[in-house]
C-alpha cells in the first residue's frame, strides 16, 4: 500500500488554528498530493473513495465527511510566526491566512476540489531542515483533531527524543485551542491524556510527559517520544547507558558533528544545539538516560565506539557456560 506523505513546515505545525477532525483530514489529504511544483492555480482533488480507503470508513460516511468539510473549510483561518519577517523590535511577524482560496464539493461525482491559499503553499514544501514529514496512513485511526495536532507536534521532535519545555499557552495553541478560550489546567490535562492514549494506541509514536512546576503552579510540559518503527528493528539491541557512558558518548557525539553529517543532522534537532555545545551535551546526556532514546541512537553510538555486550549463558547454578570477554566500559 503506497504511503501518503505529509510534509509541513514546523511553523505550520506550531501555528494557531482550529479545524474539525474532517477538515483536518481534508487538509492533510490535500497536502499529500501537493508537490514542490504546486502553485496558487493548482487544483487538488480528494475523492470519497480515497478518503474512505485512507481512514477506513464506508463510502456513505465518506461522502458526508467530504460535504461537511467542504462547507466550512473556506471560512477557516490560521496564524503563524514568519521568522524571516521581523517587526521593528526584532520579533517574528504574525501572518494570518485562510487555508484555501477556493473549495468545491461535486456531489454527483463524489469529490472535493480545492486550491490552497498563497500563504499555505510554501509551508507544505521541504524548506531547508525546518520541516516534518510523516505517513498519513500511520495516523488514520486517530479519533480527534487534538490527537492529530499533538501527533504532528511530537513528530517534529521525535528525532531528538524529547521536546523542550512547552508552556501551557504554547501547548494549547499547538493542540488547536483558541488562545482566548479559558481552559482550566485539569480540563486541559484530560484532553491531553486522552490524545496521548489515542496516539500511543494507534500510531507509530509512543510518548509520555512530565509536568514542570514552579511551586504549585504548572509552568509547562516536557514530552518524551519514541518511534516504534525504529525500536522494532530486529537488528537494534537494547541500549542502556550508565552515567559515565552517557557523559562519554555525549562528548563523542558532539565532537563528531563537524565530520559526520548524519550525527550533525540528528543532534541539530535538539534546540540546545542553537545555544552552545555545552548545553547540547547536557541535553544529550539527559536524553540518553532514557533507554528507548538510547536504543534509537544505537546507529550513531556505534559510529563513536559503542559496542553492545552479549549476556553470558549460565547453567542452573549460575556458572558461566561460555567464556566471554566483556569490556568494563559497558553495562547491560
Looking at per-residue pLDDT, the higher value among 320 and 107 belongs to 107
pLDDT at 275: 84
The CA dihedral of 281, 295, 223, 259, to the nearest 10 degrees, is 40
> Does pLDDT of 55 surpass 60?
yes
Task: Identify which of 271, 248, 254 has the alpha carbon closest to the alpha carbon of residue 165.
Answer: 271
Residues β-bridged to residue 184: none
**What are the start and end residues of each CATH 1.10.10.10 domain in the chain?**
1-139, 141-229
C-alpha distance from residue 20 to each of 30, 38, 72, 176, 177 (Å) = 15, 25, 9, 10, 11
* Span of 22-26, 140-144, 150-154, 256-260 with lowest mean pLDDT: 256-260
Burial bucket for residue 130 (CB in 10 Å: 0-12, 13-18, 19+): exposed
Q: What is the arithmetic mean of pLDDT over 165-172?
A: 87
Phi, psi of 86 (to 5 degrees): -105, 145
Contact at 8 Å (CB) between 115 and 101? yes
Q: Of 75-89, 193-207, 258-272, which gets the smallest average pLDDT? A: 75-89
Three-class SS of residue 134? Answer: strand
Half-sphere exposure of 108 (CA within 13 A, CB side): 0
pLDDT tens-digit series, residues 109-135:
899 999 999 999 888 876 545 678 888
Looking at the structure, give the CATH architecture of the domain made up of residues 1-139.
Orthogonal Bundle (1.10)
Ramachandran quadrant class, 4 (left: phi over 0; alpha: psi -120 to 50; beta: rest): beta
Share of the chain above pLDDT 90, in %: 39
Place of cell 537494534: 236
Which pLDDT tens digit goes with each residue over 17-27? Answer: 888 999 999 99
**Residue 181 has what pLDDT?**
60
Residue (of 110, 136, 152) closest to 1 by Cα position: 136
Averaged confidence pLDDT in the chain: 82
Report the pLDDT value the prediction gives residue 86, as an integer from 0 to 100.
Answer: 63
9 confidence band (pLDDT: 50, 70, 90): confident
**Interval 96-118 mean pLDDT:** 92
239 in Cβ contact with 246 (< 8 Å)? no
SS3 317: coil
Out of 1.10.10.10, 3.40.50.1100, 1.50.10.10, 3.40.1360.10, select the CATH number for domain 141-229.
1.10.10.10
CA distance 285 to 11: 28
Cell 460535504, residue?
A: 67
Beta strands, E only, the chain: 5-9, 16-17, 44-47, 77-86, 92-98, 100-106, 111-116, 131-135, 205-214, 217-227
Q: Which of 297, 301, 307 is nearest to 329 (CA)?
A: 307
Amino acid at each position: 500500500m503506497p504511503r501518503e506523505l505529509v510534509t509541513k513546515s514546523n511553523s505550520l505545525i506550531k501555528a494557531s488554528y482550529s479545524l474539525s477532525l474532517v477538515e483536518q483530514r481534508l487538509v492533510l489529504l490535500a497536502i499529500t498530493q501537493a508537490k514542490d511544483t504546486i502553485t496558487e492555480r493548482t487544483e487538488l482533488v480528494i475523492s470519497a473513495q480515497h478518503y474512505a480507503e485512507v481512514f477506513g470508513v464506508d463510502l456513505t460516511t465518506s461522502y458526508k465527511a467530504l460535504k461537511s468539510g467542504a462547507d466550512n473549510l473556506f471560512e477557516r483561518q490560521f496564524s503563524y510566526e514568519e521568522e524571516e519577517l521581523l517587526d521593528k523590535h526584532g520579533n517574528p511577524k504574525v501572518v494570518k491566512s485562510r487555508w484555501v482560496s477556493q473549495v468545491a464539493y461535486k456531489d454527483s461525482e463524489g469529490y472535493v476540489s480545492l486550491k490552497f491559499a498563497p500563504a499555505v503553499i510554501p509551508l507544505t514544501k521541504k524548506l531547508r531542515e525546518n520541516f516534518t514529514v510523516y505517513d498519513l496512513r500511520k495516523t488514520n485511526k486517530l479519533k480527534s483533531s487534538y490527537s492529530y495536532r499533538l501527533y504532528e507536534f511530537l513528530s517534529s521532535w521525535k528525532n531528538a527524543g524529547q521536546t523542550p519545555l512547552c508552556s501551557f499557552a504554547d501547548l494549547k495553541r499547538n493542540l488547536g485551542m483558541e488562545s482566548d478560550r479559558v481552559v482550566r489546567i485539569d480540563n486541559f490535562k484530560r484532553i491531553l491524556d486522552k490524545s496521548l492514549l489515542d496516539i500511543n494506541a494507534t500510531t507509530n509514536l509512543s510518548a509520555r510527559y512530565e509536568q514542570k512546576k514552579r511551586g504549585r503552579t504548572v509552568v509547562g510540559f516536557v514530552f518524551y517520544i519514541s518511534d516504534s518503527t525504529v525500536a522494532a528493528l530486529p537488528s537494534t539491541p537494547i541500549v542502556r547507558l550508565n552515567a559515565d557512558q552517557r557523559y562519554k558518548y555525549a562528548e563523542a557525539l558532539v565532537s563528531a558533528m563537524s565530520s559526520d553529517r548524519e550525527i550533525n543532522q540528528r543532534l541539530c534537532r535538539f534546540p540546545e544545539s542553537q545555544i552552545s555545545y555545552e548545553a547540547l551535551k547536557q541535553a544529550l546526556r539527559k536524553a540518553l538516560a532514557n533507554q528507548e532514546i538510547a536504543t534509537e541512537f544505537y546507529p550513531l553510538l556505534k559510529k563513536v565506539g559503542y559496542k553492545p555486550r552479549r549476556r553470558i549463558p549460565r547453567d542452573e547454578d549460575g556458572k558461566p557456560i561460555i567464556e566471554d570477554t566483556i569490556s568494563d566500559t559497558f553495562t547491560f
